[in-house]
Structure 1
Amino acid sequence: MHITLRQLEVFAEVLKSGSTTQASQMLALSQSAVSAALTDLEGQLGVQLFDRVGKRLVVNEHGRLLYPRALALLEQATEIEQLFREDNGAIRVYASSTIGNYLLPEMIGRYRRDFPDLPIELSVGNSQDAINAVADFRVDIGFIEGPCHSADIVAEPWLEDELVVFAAPDSPLLEGEVTLSRLSAQPWILREKGSGTREIVDYLLLSHLPQFRLGMELGNSEAIKHAVRHGLGISCLSRRVIAEQLESGKLVEVTVPLPGLNRTLWRIHHRQKHLSNALLRFLSYCTIS
């Protein structure tokens, strides 16, 4: 059986108008097309839905049984069309921790003010977690802090970000000139392997030190900030992450004898992912105000 929505629409209109002529005018179809659709529907069901009384069609017990169910299906189809016409589907986002905790909340807040009822699912992990989620189609879009090397993923430059070396206000490192050898002697508190921040710090900073002393690895930036503030070592994070602590004096920026520690933040999606209007609309809000 292959009943179509068009056949049900024709049946419902014929019932309301009482003739195929009136129904054809309402549906903008030829009378022969209306008659053919009704005949085909009756043939598939194996029953007549109308009694033919002269040129009139009078609904019978079969038609009365079908009518409320046909209306329900047509209403549901209209709801489905409206749902996707307005792009109301949930948007699934995966962001690395710096982006998910310090950048996206403001952007999502702006989006929600304009579209308060549209759902967004935000997951936060490290950059590799975000890449894996995009690769497996578990999310629609990802935001990461380092380059992506997967051939299946499209990575586009998104925002520029500055990394800052920082220490506690009473750190011995701040006494005198900061040299590469003195930086090498400090215990470093860093993000874990797989973190985009860690990959960039390794490349831009630690690769220039004559040696490297790892104090500890921690899974999130908040833990690193607290560890540095309590004198357990020094670290390097996005300026956006430690802006409040630098302003309050709880942490102090360390000027290092290296070129600017700047990096690109990336937006990623699967190469075979269709970027819907809803997704493109959300991405238009993902900018720095």
Structure 2
Amino acid sequence: MTFKLSLRELEVFVAVADHGTVTEAASKVALTQSAASQALQMLQQGLGVTLFDRVGRRLQLNEHGRLLLPRARAMLASAQEMQNLVNDEAIHLRLGASTTIANYLLPARLAAFRQRYRQSRVQLQVGNTQAIVDAVATFQVDMGLIEGSCHHAEIVVTPWQEDELVVVVAGQWAAAQGDGPLGLASLVGMPWIVRETGSGTREVVEQQLFPVLGSVDVAMELGDLEAIKHTVAAGLGVSCLSRHVVADLLANGKLAEVRQDASQLRRPLFCIRHRDKAVTRGMDVMTAI
């Protein structure tokens, strides 16, 4: 007998994978618990394999489930896109963005996107570069905008924009050094405050700036950009961040820019998508704004 896989079964499977229990998954997809259990059972019977291991009261994906999950997400996304075709304004875009882009570059673009397509719906997932690469690779998002490099074999990487990084110190500390521009030589021995491993900003700083400085004392790793810049402004160290991040504190004097001895430290920003993910109208519009 031919097995007919249904979108509802895939929807339940993905929901269980995301939430760990059939009860929570059923609530997510607006089914009764018994209906969700039956849908999952029919999917596993049709495939001839189990997709989860039971660990205590929770269900965890096994090898078969991990193989199926990204494809199931892709099929559900494609079905949503087909449904949207009947309404020219109905764009549903699942977007992933690394922290600097999400907080400082995207808000104006999202506003323009919504102004152009008022019936659109955008889901935004924010994380460091590695987290967004993982989300694209597993079809959790349609596309990603990242600051760091991506070498995943199944992901298509396209240059998007360019960003400038600036080295900053506390404005009061800079004023105490006297007149004249600050150079990198003035930072010898100062503690550094950096992003966490996996961040695109951290990657660029380690590859392009730290080798120039030689010995570097990394005193703090913080996962929040606002926390980093305000910690530097409080006089606790030095950091290197996107100019978009520190523009406000540079303008009011709470931060001061340190002149780099070489040319400006610039980095490309990238748009990424899974190679099996078809480019949608929403993806085209977002990258063009």
Q: Determine which structure has more spread, i.e. the larger CA radius of gyration.
A: 1
Query: Are 2:154 and 1:152 aligned?
Result: yes
**Post-superposition CA distance 1:156-199 (Å, at most 9, x none):** 11111100001111226962675555423110001010000000
With structure 2 as the length reference, what TM-score do the two structures score? 0.67
Q: Structure 1 residues 224, 82: CA separation in 2 closer, same or farther (over 3 Å shift)?
A: closer
What is the distance in 2 between the residues matched to 1:143 and 1:162?
A: 16
Query: Are 2:266 and 1:265 aligned?
Result: no
Match for residue 165 of structure 1? 167
Q: Structure 1 residues 83, 193: CA separation in 2 closer, same or farther (over 3 Å shift)?
A: closer
Q: Give the CA deviation at 1:245.
A: 1.1
What is the distance in 1 between the residues matched to 2:258 and 2:140?
A: 40
Match for residue 223 of structure 2? 219
Q: Give the CA deviation at 1:82.
A: 7.0
Q: Pick one of 124, 136, 143 that aligns with 2:138.
A: 136
What is the distance in 1 between the residues matched to 2:175 and 2:147?
A: 28
Q: Any idea what SS the aligned residue of 1:185 has?
A: coil
What is the distance in 2 between the residues matched to 1:83 and 1:197?
A: 36
Q: Structure 1 residues 105, 172: CA separation in 2 closer, same or farther (over 3 Å shift)?
A: closer
Residue type of the alignment partner of 1:122: L
Match for residue 84 of structure 1? 85
Residue type of the alignment partner of 2:114: R
With structure 1 as the length reference, what TM-score do the two structures score? 0.67
What is the distance in 2 between the residues matched to 1:240 and 1:172?
A: 20
Q: Pick one of 279, 283, 286 that aligns with 2:287.
A: 283
Unaligned 5+ segments in structure 1 are: 1-79
Match for residue 15 of structure 2? none
Q: Pick one of 120, 123, 126 that aligns with 2:122.
A: 120
Q: Give the CA deviation at 1:219.
A: 0.2
In 2, are the aligned partners of 1:174 and 1:254 still within 8 Å (CA)? no
Q: Structure 1 residues 172, 112: CA separation in 2 closer, same or farther (over 3 Å shift)?
A: closer
Query: Are 2:229 and 1:228 aligned?
Result: no
In 2, are the aligned partners of 1:165 and 1:235 still within 8 Å (CA)? yes
What is the distance in 2 between the residues matched to 1:104 and 1:214?
A: 30
What is the distance in 2 between the residues matched to 1:90 and 1:187?
A: 45
What is the distance in 2 between the residues matched to 1:173 and 1:183?
A: 14
Residue type of the alignment partner of 2:122: I
What is the distance in 1 between the residues matched to 2:252 and 2:185?
A: 29
Percent identical = 45
Q: Any idea what SS the aligned residue of 1:189 has?
A: strand
Q: Structure 1 residues 179, 108: CA separation in 2 closer, same or farther (over 3 Å shift)?
A: closer
In 2, are the aligned partners of 1:155 and 1:267 still within 8 Å (CA)? yes
Match for residue 247 of structure 2? 243
How many residue pairs align between the two structures?
206
Unaligned 5+ segments in structure 2 are: 1-80
Q: CA RMSD in A?
A: 2.0
Match for residue 42 of structure 1? none
Q: Any idea what SS the aligned residue of 1:154 has?
A: strand
In 1, are the aligned partners of 2:169 and 2:233 still within 8 Å (CA)? yes
In 1, are the aligned partners of 2:155 and 2:275 still within 8 Å (CA)? yes
Residue type of the alignment partner of 1:162: E
